[in-house]
Structure 1
Amino acid sequence: MKQVTIKDIAELAGVAKSTVSRYLNGGSVGKATREKLDRVIRDTNYEPNQFAQSLKSKQTKMIGVIVPRLDSYAASRTMMGIDEQLTERGYQMLVVNTAQQTEREIEQLYNLAKQKVAGIIWLGTTVTERHLEAIETIQIPVLLIGQQHDNVHSLVYPDHEAAYALGTRFTEWGHRNVVYVGVYESDIAVGQARRDGFLKAFQESESNVNIIQTTFKIEDAIPIGEQLADEVGTISLIVCATDNIALGVLKGLANQGVSVPRDVSVSGFGGYDFTEVLHPSITTVHLPYRRTGAKAADMMLQLLHGEHVPMKTFTIFELKVRESVDKLN
């Protein structure tokens, strides 16, 4: 017989999973909701798992924040937004780093729950069945930033739409021979959504596109820039999945005496502050990391207070047209 889960209880009672979690952990719920949950739990013979039982003591006013890298510009700006908003509301954040390791992400979901955090904001790179199992087990609100899954509240960057908008701008400027330097598909947002948005724009203009895969590290993109220096004259534009990759490519091209944008154009994605003060300044997509962090904190507190939060919420983006991409027409 299938074991009844907190998700089943929520569906049968017609309430959010966070409401069931709050009820099971001794939190405040309305009288009508409490009576409804009492009835459903009695009728289904639901028994909270042992891990959840250990969390029934009063939660702290602490929000766990799981980040893939401490040296990431996007992560640091996002954490600044989270911290500012939580502090204003009387909460604190507890930051844990996973060094982009899936096993550590899953471990930290459990560890943060054991430390009685009220909720977890997770800057994710991929969502596996084991992540979902952990989230189901700990029975506290989890909010995912940057990726999305139907079973997890998610605050998502419009990666596909932004990449398509920027790619369309490039084709309008006459770029038809393009190299796209991206990351691996295990990262759904950056490795798939951004790539697919750019490819859609280039395919609509019947452009020639070559795809190269790398990591998020600047140093790994430098040899790619050096390699692409040999193709100057046959390609007009190098599109990079992140600003860090663009920085590495620019360095590699410079090492080979290639001038940007005179010899070849280069674009980034992310809108890091320093991309504006470089020479040439980088054409990119600006994503509002700090504002997104503040929004995530607001959404988490809404979940903790039993308010309705959509399963998927999109942020905004802005195209930053600067010096590193030339208009061929």
Structure 2
Amino acid sequence: MNIKEISKLANTSPSSVSRVINSSGYVKDEVKKRILKVLEETGYRPNAFAKALHSKKSHTIGVILPKINATSSGENVSGIDQFFNAKGYSLLLGNTDHQVKKELAFLDVFKEKQVDGIIFIATLLTTEHHEKFRKLGIPVVIIGQESPEDIPCVLFDEYHATKEMAQHLLSKGKQRIAFIGVDEWDISVGVLRYQGYCDALKEQNMTPDPALFAKGDFTHQSGFAACRQIIENNALRPDAIFAASDKMAIGAMSYLFSIGLRVPEDISICGVGGGTLAEFYNPKLTTLAYDYKQSGVVASELLFQLLESPSADTLIAHKTYIPYELVIGKST
């Protein structure tokens, strides 16, 4: 079927059919109803590429994510899909497994696919990323990392959130608080979350002890290994462990249980994330609850503003913060 055949069946002109398909102009209600009825009966679908050429829009959004099976990424994409599906857009996903080369390659692929906009769920932003963004000619919104000033980004206040959590542990009388972090190339998690913890201790005239610090990679297994490292390297064990993610916190708890220690009676544990994992684990995990789905929705709203009005970039704030909540569970 083509537009001419559709127009004959609907007893109207090809131009009217085109306007209905592309939502690009006025068509009388009675004519529009006839056209829509024929479209439904025939199952006609316009060629997406031809439609894009006509409207100069593909109605497709590219999403670059670091780990497709990560809880935060999944929730981000859920929020993005919820928003753009209601607007008639489709998503193209690019899973990078934290590889910068794949991130840069997907930026090129999305440009070739003529996506209307890109949402980049970032863990690292390099000068190469910045150079690509400048050359793309496509609106971009960043989630999770602070971006160049000309690109909007959606963030959680990592520093004040982790500082508040550390202050909660200190208010419980904890004196030896260990920290399981991640590599510093991840500025939001590896630097800002750790800095919030350190400054909370310093405000109480306590010096962060390097022996009470270990690195993981967000997984349960790395939390288990990091907790073992901390316990084995300290004759005087910590009275609390603050992990930079819920998965690492639960991995740390698993190690403590494996050597016969109790949570929170022997050691308190807390994490960051606040998903169902924290809520239904036993004991229920004290955590910083982040609404990753909402951050996806907010990033989508910002990108849609840029798509609707290219001049909107002067009105959109550089940084938009999503609220977090300190959720006190049984683990502290």
Q: TM-score range by the shorter chain?
A: 0.7 to 0.9
Q: Tell me the distance in 2 between the aligned counterparts of 1:297 and 1:142.
A: 10
Cα distance between partner residues in 2 of 1:305 and 1:105:
26
Moved more, 209-218 or 254-263: 209-218
Q: Which residue of 1 aligns with 2:29?
A: none
Partner of 1:157: 156
Question: SS at the partner of 1:224?
Answer: helix
Q: Does 1:313 align with 2:320?
A: yes
In structure 2, the CA distance between the partners of 1:232 and 1:252, relative to structure 1 (3 Å rule), is farther
* Corresponding residue SS for 1:268: strand
Q: Of residues 270, 283, 305 in structure 2, which corresponds to 1:302?
A: 305
Q: Distance in 2 between matches of 1:256 and 1:208?
A: 28
Identity %: 28
Structure 1 unaligned regions, length at least 5? 1-54
Residue 296 of structure 1 and its aligned partner are, at CA, apart by: 1.1
In 1, distance between residues paired with 2:127 and 2:320?
22
Aligned residue among 192, 209, 219 for 2:221: 219
Q: Which moved more, 1:65-74 or 1:226-235?
A: 226-235
Q: Which residue of 1 aligns with 2:21?
A: none
| TM-score normalised by length of structure 2 | 0.78
Query: Which of 269, 272, 276 pairs up with 1:273?
Result: 276
8 A Cα contact 1:226 1:255, kept in partner:
no
Match of 2:241 in 1: 238
Indicate the RMSD between aligned Cα atoms, in angstroms: 1.8
Equivalent residues in 2 for 1:54-65, closer than 5 Å: 58-65=56-63
1:322 aligns with 2:324: no
TM-superposed CA distance for 1:320, in Å, is: 0.5
Partner of 2:267: 264
Amino acid at match of 2:68: L
Aligned to 2:28: none
Query: How much does 1:217 deviate?
Result: 1.9
**5+ residue gaps in structure 2?**
1-52
Q: Which has the larger Rg?
A: 2
Distance 1:267 1:310 in 2: 32
Bigger mean CA deviation after superposition, 302-311 or 173-182: 302-311
Counterpart position of 2:111: 113
Map of 2:200 onto structure 1: 201
Match of residue 89 from structure 2: 91
Task: Look up the SS of the partner of 2:272 in the other structure.
Answer: coil
The one-letter code of the counterpart of 1:223 is A
Q: TM-score, normalised by structure 1?
A: 0.79
Offset of 1:191 from its aligned partner? 0.4
Q: Pick closer, same or farther for the CA change 1:319–1:232 going to 2, 3 Å.
A: farther
Q: Deviations over 1:174-232 (max 9, x none)?
A: 11211111001100000011111111111111235322122122212212223444458
Residue aligning to 2:3: none
* Preserved CA contact (<8 Å) 2:177 2:240: yes
Q: Distance in 2 between matches of 1:220 and 1:114?
A: 38
